Amino acid sequence: MSDTRVALVTGASSGIGEETARLLHGAGFTTYAVARRVDRMAALEGVGVRTFAMDLTDDASMVAGINRIVVDQGRIDVLVNNAGYGSYGAVEDVPIDEARRQFEVNVFGLARLTQLVTPTMRDQGAGRIINVSSIGGKFYEPLGAWYHATKFAVEGFSDSLRLELAPFGIRVVIIEPGPTITEWNTISRDSLVETSRGGAYEERAGRVRRTMERGDTGWAGTQPVVVARKILKAATTSHPRARYPVGRGAGSIVLARRLMPDRAFDAMISTMYR
């Protein structure tokens, strides 16, 4: 069995996942970084992070990946469920197969990896499961129903899981990034525009896209390393909080949602995306 702590980071080919793998490796973890495309993790491999392919929509891929780590190291101390994507568009327009796929990646892939690492962590009597949710799990946007539904699901799943696993020494932590400067922004906007083209929601999609573009700017968006530092804290502090909002405006949005009546919050969001 390895004498060093072992971490697994999903969605590590770019952005938050890549920066998290770097920081965990730098903090002394034997770090495994996974994504569908191994070639995009060459820089991580170059600094000593162990990389291999994993597809969160393929159960055999996930089972093989966890077995590989357990055989190699004899333990898993930290799972960072970071992989996920945003697919936007009106509920009326988004194909139901695409909605299902988003749940497969954002929710069921996360849940399946949690199932797979839990027996090892339970036997160890310790472990951390860090689920990267979003402030999108606390508020909502027009034309973002399917994405927000996945993140609301991650929040509820994680809260229940935290109580479920606490007796075994396993801590569950939720990370709630605000707008972050990553390729997530481009993917979500592109899906919004493509899904809405030529339909009843095309004009509104253009307005929503322009609002979302602000997340790519330095004054509104946060660099992914800022989120990664919060994940490192959640992985290493002796008494982690249940959730960490992180990034510009994240705490304020979460607080506003908690304090404002639905009608007032609806009006505020509608104004932002007008």
Task: Give the range among 39-53, 128-142, 249-263 with minimum mean pLDDT.
Answer: 249-263
Tally the C-alpha atoms within 13 A of residue 57's C-alpha that lie toward its C-beta.
12
The residue length of the chain stands at 274
- Say yes or no to pLDDT of 216 above 70: no
- Say yes or no to pLDDT of 215 above 80: no
Amino acid at 175: I
Question: Please, is 55 exposed, middle or buried when counting C-beta atoms within 10 Å of its C-beta (0-12, 13-18, 19+)?
Answer: middle
- Domains of the chain, CATH where assigned: 6-272 (3.40.50.720)
Q: What is the pTM of this model?
A: 0.93
- Say yes or no to pLDDT of 196 above 80: yes
- Say yes or no to pLDDT of 179 above 80: yes
Residues serving a catalytic function are 147
Mean pLDDT, rounded, of the chain: 93
